[in-house]
Amino acid sequence: MSVVLEQLSKSYGKVSVIRSIDLDINQGEFIVFVGPSGCGKSTLLRMIAGLENITGGKLMISDEVVNDKPPSQRGIAMVFQSYALYPHLTVFENMAFSLRIAKVPKDKITKIINETAVILQLEDYLHRLPKALSGGQRQRVAIGRAIVRNPKVFLFDEPLSNLDSALRSATRIEIANLKDSLPDTTMIYVTHDQVEAMTLADRIVVLSSGDVEQVGTPLELYENPANLFVATFIGSPAMNIIDATISSANGKINVTLSDDNKFHIDNKIKIDQSEMQVKIGIRPEDMYITGDNDQSITGKVMLVETLGEYSLIYTELPGVSINEHMIVKTAGVAKLHKGDSIKLGIPVEKIHIFNSDGRVITS
């Protein structure tokens, strides 16, 4: 089923939490809501689920307005962060609970549970209580309890946040496999984990303070952020952002970071005045150490973090605020030390330029 949000809003008294959101989610899409804590992503998910009242706008599921419909009549199933399993019931009984309430015949319940257990690799745990399971297994039971209802829309509210790194990776793979096994089922997933968003999503919805900042595929958001917020939120380490002055001359855009650091890029933008104050964005993995040339900038090593397969080089630029240092991500071990002077290559085709309002000028 498709899910359509038209000017959807949510307020608590005079406090606006969700501000007039428009979003079309197609049948079979895997949509991920991301954003910082308090941005409204879980509230928005709960509005779709029917667990939060809608203040304004329309919510449509399969072309039907469901603003006032209870959760049980929306054709959705929700997987919570806290698992929400009945501790006194076995795995089988937890998964069968909603089917028994719906008076599904016993033999059919057994068939559905067994088929779902195979999908989630729970066949050997059906007669265990939740307390005898690991966190990852409990989350699979919670997902299985949702699957057996055969919903048309799955809602996931940060389902992996309680798991350790290894279990998160394993369960993420299982959710990806679940997505492939249910191609017609729409899935809406809330997370603060960028790896989950980038690897699972067909499209990502970036939220900030109740507003949608940008919607796009993972690569679209990564390669072409619409504004400073998306540029710095998507990607780890975050995009390097530095104040700069740009001016146009001889078909080129001259970029000045400081008196000691200048370079130029092809004239891809129109400058309406002799100079513009902007912010320049460059991703750490796009920077590289090079020799002296007119497209390099000079820096001094502040810190080197060696992380095995790659190193992060924190670099101070002369004449630039210490808070605007560059991070360079380089493969392997960087044989550099604090205080070393280095030249950083500027990948001009990878540069993003943002105006004073934080909107992208070019990328």
pLDDT (tens digit, 9 = 90+) per residue, 167-187? 788 888 888 888 888 888 899
Computed over every residue of the chain, the mean pLDDT equals 89
What pLDDT shows up at residue 363? 46
Contact 356, 278 (CB under 8 A): yes
Give the Cβ contact number of residue 119 at 10 Å.
Answer: 16
pLDDT over 90 at 165, yes or no: no
Q: Is there a cis peptide before residue 105, judged by omega within 30 degrees of 0? A: no
Lowest mean pLDDT among 53-62, 65-74, 293-302: 293-302
Q: Is the dihedral of CA 236, 37, 352, 299 positive or negative?
A: negative
The residue that leads in pLDDT, 162 or 22, is 22
Please tell me the predicted confidence (pLDDT) of residue 258.
84
CA 6 to chain centre: 22
Decide which of 129 and 159 is more confident: 129
Task: Read off the pLDDT band of 188 (50, 70, 90).
Answer: very high
What whole-number distance in Å separates Cα of residue 95 and Cα of residue 147? Answer: 9
Q: What percent of the chain has pLDDT over 70?
A: 97
* Confidence bin at 339 (pLDDT 50/70/90): very high
CA 27 – CA 25 distance, rounded (Å): 7
pTM (two decimals): 0.88
Q: Output the six-digit token pair for 314.
A: 């924190």
pLDDT of residue 346: 83
Q: Which of 27-36, 233-242, 262-271, 289-298 has the lowest mean pLDDT?
A: 262-271
Q: How confident is the model at residue 236, as a pLDDT?
A: 87
Main-chain phi, psi angles of 80, to 5 degrees = -95, 160
Q: Is pLDDT larger for residue 81 or for residue 59?
A: 59
CA angle (265, 269, 275) in 5-degree steps: 80
Only one residue has tokens 């790659």, namely: 310
Q: Does 218 have pLDDT greater than 50?
A: yes
Residue 179 bridge partners (DSSP): none
Residue 160's pLDDT band, with cuts at 50, 70 and 90, is: confident
| pLDDT for the residue 119 | 81
Burial class from Cβ neighbours inside 10 Å (0-12, 13-18, 19+) for residue 308 reads exposed
> Would you tell me how many other CB atoms lie within 10 Å of the CB of residue 67?
14
Residue 115 to residues 120, 144, 148, 289: CA-CA distances in angstroms?
9, 10, 9, 54
Average pLDDT over every residue of 74-103: 89
The phi and psi torsions of 120 (rounded to 5 degrees) equal: -100, 10
Region 10-30: mean pLDDT is 93
The partner residues of 300 in beta bridges, in order of sequence, read 316, 341
pLDDT one-digit tens code per residue, 266-319? 766 777 667 889 999 999 999 999 877 767 888 999 999 999 899 999 999 887
Among 59-63, 89-93, 132-136, name the one with the lowest average pLDDT: 132-136
Provide the pLDDT confidence category of residue 341 given band limits of 50, 70 and 90: very high
Quick check: 88 pLDDT over 70?
yes
Compute the distance between CA of residue 360 and CA of residue 363 in angstroms, rounded to an integer. 7
What is residue 259's predicted lDDT score, i.e. its pLDDT? Answer: 81
The pLDDT score that the predictor gives to residue 55 is 95
- Measure the CA–CA gap between 251 and 265, rounded to whole angstroms: 9
pLDDT band of residue 205 (cuts 50, 70, 90) is very high
